[in-house]
Chains A and B, each alone.
Chain A
Amino acid sequence: MTGPAKTDTQVPLVDIYVMGKRYRVPEGLTILTALEHCGYRMIRGCGCRAGFCGACATVYNFKNDAQLRYALACQKTVEPDMYLVQIPFFPAARASYDLEKVEPTGEQVLALYPDLVKCFGCNNCTKTCPQELETMWYISDALRGDIREVAAKSFGCVMCGLCAARCPQGLAQYNIALLCRRLYGRYLAPRSKHLDDRIAEIETGKFDEDLNNLKKLDGPDLRRLYAEREIEPAY
């Protein structure tokens, strides 16, 4: 039960083409574990192995179907006659900024990413996204200055870079989305007064005595407190 899936010899085999070269691998592996079965030891193109880190962006099509498709190698099961290549890195524009000195406006986003206006709506980015985000629509939200919508639509972005790799206008959609989410969190999300109040209480030492007493408790007393504590309903 170690990392890659088991490769029982009874399992039917399928042909896949890694950068054009044919390999025969057991059915049911992911692209990532199939590459490892072939003997590739991953350094690039492999990260969390669970669909969250965006390291393993992969482009593929089929022997008899030229339509390009996109996936995270750790999440996609191999299919017969798949032609595939990983794109572990793609150069992309990233604006540098001081979050304390920017404004949460469309003008600001445009000033940092002026290439936004070059989007001509080809929708390649949306078709490319392995997370099935509405990438082109959040780019159009960004153009309209609707930062909140960009944040909402882009939330599942793992920053794999495939959108940028396929953009004919050289946009880095995922970096634009990150800027908008940070502007939203810093400036537009409603503030949490109870959080500020609690921080102030801690700073004035309101809980120090309680905590000092708790730290001094020996095993049985602390165990009793724990067993007897009142538990708030989960919902």
Chain B
Amino acid sequence: MYPSYMEQSIRKVESTRERRLNETLPRLTETEKGPLLQAHHPDYISQGMRDLSVGPNKGDRAPHEMADLLEGNSRVDPERIDLTRVEYDVDVLVIGGGGAGASAALLAQESGARVLLVTKLRLGDANTVGAQAGTQAADRPEDSPALHYIDTMGGGHFANTPELVEALVKDAPSVVKWLEMLGVNWDKNPDGTMHELSGGGASRRRLHSARDYTGLEEMRVLRDEMRNRNIDYVEFAAAIELIMDDLGQVAGAVLADMETNELMLVRARAVVLATGGMGRLHIQGFPTTNHYGATADGLVLAYRVGAEMLFIDTMQYHPTGAAYPVQILGQLVTEKVRTLGAQLANTDGEQFIMPLEPRDVVAAAIIRECQERDKGVRVPTGQVGVWLDSPMIDMIRGDGTVARELPAMVRQFGRYDIDITREPMLVYPTLHYQNGGIRVDVQGATQTPGLFAAGECIGGVHGRNRLIGNSTLDIFVFGRRAGRAAATWAQEAKQGQLSLEHVKRWQKEMEEAGLSEKRPSSPLLLPDYARPAPEYMPEHSKETLAARRIRLA
């Protein structure tokens, strides 16, 4: 049930539906996409960015919100840390408990390493569980890894690192098989063939789904498998700095208990960063689909040990975040709604973009429709959006399709008395994914010895724009590779004396650049959504409270 002021626009969407069923808008050419993106995609708003003043990417552009943290002050005073008091001494330390971290831990253990995984929230609290649509793998006879390669490069505006894309598309089918052998329930046809759907920017149907709970299904299984294999993990333990050694290698991490502030030191022969994305930085004020802990922590840690970042000036704004009701503002409405046949329509019920263009193009088109053309639907909070016409799906594919393919979406909107089988959804772009990240080679090794990385925190796989279904692929492809490579490294590496000299050097560099007073402490660990310090407090008390919050973060 929508409020009455939206009904008029919904009637228009209904009145054009029959006609639109047979209306296919053409795909944009590359020369048409450029100006659309430049005029309307948030990545091209230069006021939202600045050049970094310190560190390996000095001079490169990054959004202010991310730059503040990359240029942040350490939470650790090296003078006050006794590096002889090591709590855990392992071969491979994995930081992050999502799909990439769990994959890395499983493969590192299989490769013979003693593994510890640490995560600042619970095991599995990660963007992986929110991924709905599916995982790409070119496994149908009509498809090929070469086509998957071309689609991925095109989606990323040809900026992707070719070797990483090659690894992605070649490993994809075996990743799908690996997950199945661990017990993931893929959607299948009765004859056993995979039930595969198309996606924005994909030239073949190659999305493997588990209804619209794909990432949740994958994560539930990997988490259970980690427990079955007795892999050690520590929850609510945030990595706040990496430890290096006098041989210039990464050699562990400083952890802080999120609830008690207890300090824990881990010594490790190799470290895998699998810390995910940055949606909770709310770049340019956008709402986000991301989980509570998506604050780019791994980028900060890697930056301080000299690892270079790629494409950190490009974010993915998912075209369809919920714009109504306000309780779910910015939450993900899966692209699967469009892959099943739903079109986008403006307030007059007219299409304005081919719904299966790559995500950055669709997002820019929605922003143009609402801002420049004023053809969006406005709700009282000021939020504006366009219609995603979900009732078309059952008309195209038969009654019951929405209920079968999109149970999570039906459930989520049903909680607010909106029946998406009969009524469209109001949507607007929402901050979804960090396209770039830490530079790695095909085995997940960063430029800093002993440090590996996988998942959303790495850059290069997706160039400047990721395609649907390539993230729940990349976490497993590169999680597995990084886990194996870290285990191999750990067998051969010589260990030196633990050291936090790099933190001292970092703080010196910050001071020389005149930044240490201006910048916050980082990593951020969690966003601060609690009510701000009350009016009655004197300023010095507010500062104490703020400092305490940062410490507690």
Interface residues of A (CB under 8 A from B): 1-6, 28-30, 33, 36-44, 46-53, 55, 75-77, 94, 96-99, 131-132, 151, 155-159, 178, 181-186, 189-199, 202, 207, 210-211, 214-215, 219, 222-223, 225-227, 229-235
Contacts and interface: CB of A to CB of B under 8 A. Distances in A.
B170 A211 contact: yes
Contact of B292 (A42, A207, A230): A42
A199 B174 contact: yes
A16 to B, nearest CB: 14
Contact of A182 (B137, B183, B258): B183
B153 A1 contact: no
B450 to A, nearest CB: 28
A182 B224 contact: yes
Nearest to A229: B203
A40 to B, nearest CB: 6
B429 to A, nearest CB: 11
B138 A198 contact: yes
B184 A214 contact: no
Interface string B356-369: 10000000000000
A215 B163 contact: yes
Interface string B404-419: 0001100110011000
Contact of B174 (A36, A183, A202, A231): A202
A94 to B, nearest CB: 7
A151 B185 contact: yes
B220 A155 contact: no
Interface of B: 27, 29-30, 121-122, 124-125, 127, 129-130, 137-142, 144-147, 149-151, 153-154, 158, 162-163, 166, 169-170, 173-174, 176-177, 180-186, 188, 190-194, 197-198, 203-205, 210-211, 213, 215-217, 220-221, 224-225, 227-228, 230, 236, 258-259, 280, 282, 285-289, 291-292, 326-332, 339-341, 356, 381, 396-397, 407-408, 411-412, 415-416, 526-531, 549, 552
Contacts of A30: 327
Contacts, number: 262
A33 B154 CA distance: 40
B185 A28 contact: no
B530 A55 contact: no
B173 A50 contact: no
Given A50-B328, A50-B331, A186 B173 contact: no
A194 B188 CA distance: 12
Given A190-B188, A199-B173, A210-B144, A222 B549 contact: no
B134 to A, nearest CB: 13
15 contacts: A2-B285, A3-B529, A5-B326, A28-B326, A43-B121, A47-B121, A49-B292, A50-B289, A53-B291, A75-B327, A184-B183, A189-B188, A195-B176, A207-B144, A215-B162
B260 to A, nearest CB: 10
Contacts of B153: 214, 222, 226
Contacts of B552: 41
A3 B185 contact: no
B473 to A, nearest CB: 14
A195 B194 contact: yes
Contacts of B339: 234
Contact of B177 (A1, A131, A199): A199
Contacts of A28: 326-327
A195 B177 contact: yes
Nearest to B142: A232
B238 to A, nearest CB: 10
A51 B327 CA distance: 12
Given A1-B286, A190-B188, A97 B228 contact: yes
Contacts of B180: 185-186, 189, 192, 195
Contacts of B183: 99, 181-186
Contacts of A98: 228
A189 B150 contact: no
A47 B125 contact: yes
Given A2-B285, A155-B213, A190-B190, A226 B154 contact: yes
Given A41-B549, A192-B194, A232-B204, 9 more contacts: A1-B286, A43-B526, A155-B185, A156-B411, A182-B221, A186-B180, A223-B158, A234-B205, A235-B198
Contacts of A229: 147, 150-151, 203
Contacts of A131: 411
A99 B182 contact: yes
A36 B138 CA distance: 44
Nearest to A41: B530
A214 B146 contact: yes
